[in-house]
Amino acid sequence: MQEFNWYEIWNKWANFQPKQKEAEDAAAKYDYVFYGGSAGPGKSYFLRKYPISFLVEYCFLTLGLRGVRAGLFCEDYPALHDRHLSKIPYEFPEWLGTYKAQQHEFILSEDFGGGVIAFRNLDDPSKYLSSEFALIEVDELTKNPKETFNFLRLRKRWPGIERTKFVGASNPGGIGHDWVKQLWIERNFPSEETEKEQFHFIKALPQDNKYLPESYYNTLGALPEKLRKAYRDGNWDVFEGQYFSEWDAEQHAIAPFEIPETYKKFRAYDHGREAPACCKWYAIDYDGRVFAYREFYQRGLDVDEIAAEINRLSGAKKDEKGNWVGGEHYEYSVADPAIFANIGFTDKFGGQTIAESFARNGIMFLPASNRRVDGWALMHQYLRWDDKTKPKMQHFSTCVNSIRTIPALIHDEIRPEDVDTDGEDHAADADRYFLMSLHERASHKPKTEIEQKFEQMKKQESPINFNVYLPQ
């Protein structure tokens, strides 16, 4: 078949539209391509067809390799069947190859190099521990945690192919929304990423698909504003399932200012080691508005190391005896109640809880309420805003991890009133600990001396109505 003009065969059969052709060209140039954004531009169609080009044009005709394998993955089997397997019988002709239904594999004709497209699901990625693919594609990439991506990129290898490829496609939303956005849209890479220049983003819009009926575009336009921005306009700041739909970067992320000395200050902490530990600092103005003005956010540290960083950021210093002294004054500091539990933890001084270890480092935490749904309800209240009213809680723009992770949280599928804990919820947890502490202390506010005296007198059944003298 090599005597035939492959490009003519390919272009006629694939029939890529301009944006799909752009994605194809990008995949030839870059090793990690993400084709994402709105609904309806033909992303899944591209994922089905592109492996043919890769296996025939690149692997077979250019490199002379036969039997090379490519993998097209979806989050589960129903999604795999609905989005791809059901399309194969009428999209993939017999002259091109053979579909093995039991194996969920399409095998190219020997004339085209005998390459294989394996259609797989990601309900258990560990199934592919020994697998190798020259090309890995993931449809609806944001439905997967970053750990799945990290696992799959280790399966991206093939003898004789130096530059294996990864191609993802997705709408905004899902548990993986944030990490996908960070890598491809914002290009905010972790320090250990060594292939930064190989990441490339292709924005998808419904108008890219000339076969999309006008009625579908009109349907997208009729969606609520936030969903319309995500699915019609490809906006990665809003998406379906977003838990804190009130979040707006312009309203909730503000330029830092000098905190007046008269503002009351607080701290809240969510513990982690393998997951990030998060401490946040808050100030409250005269109107009860909350400003998160500082954050600590880091994984992989022991308690002593975390405490040292919190103390340093709080302005404390070690004295001659090695004790932390000085720094900002806080009304109180609260933390996840789990750090007060005896769970087999022992520090170098024999302390039995993480809270004790913090205390030995000069940080006294009070246990916060862990009533999750109540805490999230308070966050909704504090984040709410409209054209006339600013939100009661804002973050300094320097709190980059809070600004990154809070709007990316989604609803739990089983318990929709709660946050999906597979998401990066550590900064949000610190916020709810703090807000719950404010709420609980307000509801149990100690009575003033005069209020106490009036209460005593009322218990004596005095005929005088003392309520009129109580502060309103």
Q: Report the pLDDT averaged over residues 209-230.
A: 78
Using CB atoms within 10 A of its CB, is residue 379 exposed (0-12), middle (13-18) or buried (19+)? buried
Q: Residue holding tokens 């709080």?
A: 314
Q: What is the pLDDT of residue 122?
A: 94
- CATH of range 6-231; options 1.10.10.10, 3.40.50.140, 3.40.50.300, 3.30.1050.10: 3.40.50.300
pLDDT tens figures, 232-260 = 888 887 777 788 988 988 899 999 999 99
User: Residue 226's closest CA among 244, 236, 238, 243?
Assistant: 238
Instruction: List where CATH 3.30.420.280 sits in the chain.
Output: 249-443
Print burial letters for 235-257: b (CB count within 10 Å at least 16), e (below 16): bbbbbbbbbbbbbbeeebbbeee
Bridge partners, residue 37, by sequence: 204
Name the token pair of 78. Answer: 């129903």
Half-sphere exposure of 72 (CA within 13 A, CB side): 27
Instruction: List where CATH 3.40.50.300 sits in the chain.
Output: 6-231
Q: Is the pLDDT of residue 175 over 90?
A: no
The residue with greater pLDDT, 455 or 397, is 397
Q: What is the pLDDT of residue 343?
A: 64
**Under 8 Å CB-to-CB from 222, ≥6 apart: which residues?**
228
What average pLDDT does the chain have? 88
Using CB atoms within 10 A of its CB, is residue 13 exposed (0-12), middle (13-18) or buried (19+)? middle
pLDDT tens figures, 39-55 = 888 999 999 999 999 99
What is the spatial distance between Cα 5 and Cα 56, in angstroms, rounded to a whole number?
12
DSSP helix/strand/coil, 180: helix
249-443 has which CATH code? 3.30.420.280
Comparing 129-138, 201-210, 248-257, 371-380, the range with the smallest average pLDDT is 201-210
H/E stretch holding 306: helix 303-313
